[in-house]
């Protein structure tokens, strides 16, 4: 069966090309710009399910002067009772149409070649005569029409007024969308509307919906695995502090500070690598620096991990220990740096019980016995890493692939609900991370620490995947 043909039509600058990019997950398709008449010719774009082409979207030039267009079509009409499609055909075949309305002719020809029309409307506009004339012209193409309200998340959008206006024209299957603030459910509803109006292609749309679902699940799993690796690796990181000559306290402080900075640097690198991986998994080309940075900046994750702003941006309040420390400037390592120093007393006890330990562990005990130290990431740092990673993943879920510019802050819906969800997640994950960290303090196999690092990664990933699953 030939693939379903969907013509994406509408006024100029309503986000038609952006919609195609979003539906096909193709950032590189066509030209998108805030100035009108960007798309100049009809361009096809395939929608694939499991490698098979199930539908073809046709991007079209915007209709600019729809009032003049309808007048020109009507002027060529022979009489009032003439079939509307005949008048469109006559118009399209005329010299005058090609001369006066080249873009519109291209769009209408695409519309007539399609099975169904997706009419993209900027929901920030008021319902005006030009819209009504545009819909009238498109209806005369004799294809089912799905009006699609775009920009619904933007300021000034009035989707309800549009639903009312369109209902008065007898158009009821109104899908809504915002190609920049993307919602998977909106997309599913749009495809459902198409499915209803193109019954011959139900199987194809079902395959597409299923393909989307499977893909989302596998992205979620891979993302959770990347986050599990980040967190367990971060918790397991250790930087050694060499013993100071003659135990000189000033030198020792310097060595500890250097070790702290070395650890911070490794944690930054680890986090950065994971963020780029998460971006790539979500289809945001990490190689496209502008896109990656815009996404990170929008979500306040571009801020340095070890700055007080990073804590504030992630909603740590003054009541939480981490922020309290950062605010007073006290215990700066524990709070902002999130580093904890191994206590000598505890170390002595460990040495007592494990003198037989071999390899890395033996070396480590020797270091500690000689007055050396270790720095590891403290709880606040691990919690901050978790919250930043979750913020990124949730932010990308609603960031459409047409988003080019940074989004305005505050466009993240459901923030509170996901924050509560993330608190539950932290309660599960933090004990696992503490286990990953303390494993370093004990030879493998000792009581209470039998889980391998691999097991811990898997457990953390499972908890994260669960928290990300839509409810
Ligand atoms: N905030 C927001 N911006 C959008 C949305 N859709 C499109 N844009 C922006 O609106 C502008 C126009 O988008 P295009 O996709 O080029 O619009 P078009 O309908 O293809 O325009 P023409 O090809 O000129 O007819 C671009 O700057 C997009 O980034 C949306 O849903 N929300
Ligand atoms: Mg365009």
pLDDT digits (tens, 9 = 90+) for 286-343: 667 777 788 888 888 888 888 878 878 887 765 555 544 443 332 223 222 334 444 3
The pLDDT assigned to 446 comes to 43
The pLDDT assigned to 404 comes to 58
The pLDDT assigned to 317 comes to 63
Residue with more model confidence, 107 or 129 = 107
Using DSSP's 3-state secondary structure scheme, residue 223 falls into: helix
Nearest CA to ligand 1 atom 8: 15
Residue with more model confidence, 366 or 144 = 144
Phi-psi region of 246 (alpha: psi -120 to 50; beta: other; left: phi over 0): left
Residue 274 in contact with ligand 1 by CB distance below 6 A: no
Distance 312 CA to ligand 1 centre (A): 33
Residue 107 in contact with ligand 1 by CB distance below 6 A: no
The pLDDT assigned to 403 comes to 62
Computed over every residue of the chain, the mean pLDDT equals 82
Residue 325 in contact with ligand 1 by CB distance below 6 A: no
The pLDDT assigned to 99 comes to 94
Distance 403 CA to ligand 1 centre (A): 9
pLDDT, mean of residues 431-444:
71
Angle made by CA atoms 274, 280, 284, in degrees to the nearest 5: 125
Choice among 88-97, 179-188, 206-215 with the minimum mean pLDDT: 179-188
Proximal ligand: closest to the CA of 120: 1
pLDDT at 50 over 90: no
pLDDT tens digits for 273-302? 999 999 989 887 766 777 778 888 888 888
Residue 151 in contact with ligand 1 by CB distance below 6 A: yes
The pLDDT assigned to 319 comes to 53
Distance 118 CA to ligand 2 centre (A): 14
Atom of ligand 1 minimally distant from the CA of 150: 31
Residue 171 in contact with ligand 1 by CB distance below 6 A: no
Phi, psi of 410 (to 5 degrees): 95, 5
Distance 404 CA to ligand 2 centre (A): 14
The pLDDT assigned to 439 comes to 66
Atom of ligand 1 minimally distant from the CA of 407: 1
Choice among 101-105, 160-164, 376-380 with the minimum mean pLDDT: 376-380
pLDDT at 225 over 70: yes
Q: How far apart are the first and last CA of the chain?
A: 36
- Interaxial angle between packed helices 379-397 and 202-236, expressed in degrees from 0 to 180 and rounded to the nearest 10: 170
The pLDDT assigned to 406 comes to 55
Distance 38 CA to ligand 2 centre (A): 5
CA distance 349 to 371: 14
CA distance 262 to 56: 53
Phi-psi region of 133 (alpha: psi -120 to 50; beta: other; left: phi over 0): alpha
Distance 147 CA to ligand 1 centre (A): 16
Distance 449 CA to ligand 1 centre (A): 55
pLDDT, mean of residues 379-407:
80
The pLDDT assigned to 401 comes to 65
Distance 415 CA to ligand 1 centre (A): 26
pLDDT, mean of residues 415-424:
78
The pLDDT assigned to 344 comes to 38
The pLDDT assigned to 354 comes to 46
Distance 28 CA to ligand 1 centre (A): 14
CATH numbers and ranges of domains, the chain: 4-197 (3.40.50.300), 218-468 (no CATH)
The pLDDT assigned to 300 comes to 82
pLDDT, mean of residues 21-41:
89
Residue with more model confidence, 209 or 181 = 209
CA distance 288 to 161: 39
Helix, strand, coil shares of the chain as percentages rounded to 5?
A: 55, 10, 30
In 203-321, the DSSP E strands lie at: 239-241
Residue 33 in contact with ligand 1 by CB distance below 6 A: yes
Nearest CA to ligand 1 atom 16: 32
The pLDDT assigned to 359 comes to 56
Residue 22 in contact with ligand 1 by CB distance below 6 A: no
The pLDDT assigned to 360 comes to 60
Return the H-helix or E-strand segment holding 128: none
**Which residues on neighbouring strands pair with residue 239, listed in sequence order?**
375
Choice among 120-129, 344-353, 434-443 with the minimum mean pLDDT: 344-353
Residue 104 in contact with ligand 1 by CB distance below 6 A: no
For ligand 1, pick from 15, 120, 150, 180 the residue to mutate: most ligand atoms within 8 Å of CB. Answer: 15
Question: What are the structure tokens assigned to 324, written together?
Answer: 């309290």
Proximal ligand: closest to the CA of 107: 1
pLDDT tens digits for 55-105? 999 999 999 999 999 999 999 888 878 888 888 999 999 999 999 999 999
Residue 62 in contact with ligand 1 by CB distance below 6 A: yes
């Amino acid at each position: 069966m030939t693939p379903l043909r969907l013509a994406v039509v509408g006024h100029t600058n309503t986000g038609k090309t952006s919609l195609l990019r979003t539906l096909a997950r193709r950032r590189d398709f066509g030209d998108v710009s805030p100035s009108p008449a960007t798309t100049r010719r009809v361009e096809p774009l395939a929608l694939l399910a499991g490698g098979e082409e199930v539908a073809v979207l046709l991007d079209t030039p915007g209709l600019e002067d729809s009032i003049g267009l309808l007048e020109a079509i009507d002027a060529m009409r022979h009489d009032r009772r003439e079939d509307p499609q005949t008048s469109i055909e006559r118009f399209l075949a005329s010299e005058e149409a090609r001369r006066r309305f080249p873009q519109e002719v291209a769009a209408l020809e695409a519309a007539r070649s399609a099975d169904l029309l997706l009419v993209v409307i900027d929901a920030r506009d008021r319902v005006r005569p030009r819209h009504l004339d545009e819909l009238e012209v498109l209806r005369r193409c004799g294809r089912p029409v799905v009006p699609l309200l775009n920009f619904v998340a933007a300021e000034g959008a009035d989707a309800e007024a549009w639903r009312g206006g369109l209902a008065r024209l007898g158009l009821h299957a109104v899908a809504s969308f915002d190609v920049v603030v993307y919602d998977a459910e909106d997309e599913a509803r749009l495809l459902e509307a198409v499915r209803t109006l193109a019954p011959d292609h139900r199987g194809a749309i079902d395959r597409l919906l299923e393909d989307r679902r499977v893909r989302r699940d596998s992205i979620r799993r891979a993302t959770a695995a990347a986050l599990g690796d980040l967190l367990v690796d971060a918790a397991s990181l250790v930087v050694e502090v060499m013993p100071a000559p003659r135990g000189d306290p000033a030198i020792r402080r310097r060595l500890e500070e250097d070790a702290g900075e070395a650890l911070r640097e490794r944690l930054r690198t680890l986090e950065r690598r994971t963020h780029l991986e998460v971006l790539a998994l979500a289809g945001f080309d990490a190689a496209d620096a502008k896109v990656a940075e815009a996404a990170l900046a929008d979500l306040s994750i571009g801020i340095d991990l070890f700055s007080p702003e990073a804590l504030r941006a992630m909603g740590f309040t003054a009541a939480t220990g981490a922020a309290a420390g950062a605010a007073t400037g006290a215990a700066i390592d524990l709070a902002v740096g999130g580093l904890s120093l191994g206590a000598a007393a505890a170390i002595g006890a460990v040495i007592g019980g494990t003198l037989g330990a071999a390899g890395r562990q033996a070396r480590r005990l020797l270091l500690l016995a000689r007055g050396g130290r270790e720095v590891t990431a403290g709880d606040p740092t691990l919690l901050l890493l978790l919250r930043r990673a979750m913020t990124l993943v949730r932010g990308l879920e609603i960031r459409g692939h047409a988003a080019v510019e940074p989004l305005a802050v505050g466009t993240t819906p459901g923030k509170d609900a996901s924050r509560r969800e993330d608190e539950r997640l932290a309660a599960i994950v933090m004990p696992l991370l503490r286990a990953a960290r303390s494993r370093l303090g004990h030879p493998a196999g000792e009581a209470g620490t039998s889980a391998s690092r691999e097991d811990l990664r898997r457990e953390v990933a499972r908890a994260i995947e669960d928290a990300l699953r839509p409810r």
